[in-house]
Amino acid sequence: MKIRNLAPLFAVFFVLAMSQAYAASDGHGDFLRAKEIIEKKIDCKSLSQNDLEALGEYFMEQMHPGSAHELMDSRMGGEGSESLRQAHINMGSKFYCNEFNGKYQMMGMMGMHEGYSGASMAMWFFWWIVGILVVLILILLLIFLIKKINEKGGRRK
């Protein structure tokens, strides 16, 4: 296979890598702060409301990546709303601190409740696997099409 024929494949990989980097760094809160809190295992008593909000935003992005996260945000009041901020704080408290404080009306609407974490992780894992398989199938299809195009072009010469 010629190098110039690999350009579309590299473009696909580049777009996928950039979309993941964008999702981790766009306006969805301070994911780096959330990762830092998780890695350092900072005690919940030491966390501010902003830290819990960053954690909630991070966990929500893990469960509902990209546009699904944006859709969930809009359903909970939209960017900048107090209801969305509180929902993220509640998620941070629930998933990082394992606290249940009775403020989960919005979480209940999303199907999140006390027994949610085990089932959600299984579903999250399942959908990541499905997503990876879809991407692999698309890449293999692209490679197949490139080979077919090269075969047809080689017969004409």
Tens of pLDDT, residue by residue over 56-93, are 888 888 888 888 888 888 888 888 888 889 988 888 88
Residue 112 has pLDDT above 50, yes or no: no
Q: CB–CB of 138/131 below 8 Å? A: no
pTM: 0.48
Cα angle for residues 145, 149, 154 (degrees, 5° grid): 145
Q: Six-digit token pair at 113?
A: 């409740």
Rounded-to-integer distance, Cα 36 and Cα 11, Å: 32
Please tell me the predicted confidence (pLDDT) of residue 104. 45
Report which of 122, 130, 85, 133 is spatially closest to residue 106, judged by C-alpha positions.
Answer: 85
Q: How far is CA 98 from CA 56, 83, 122, in A?
A: 12, 20, 18
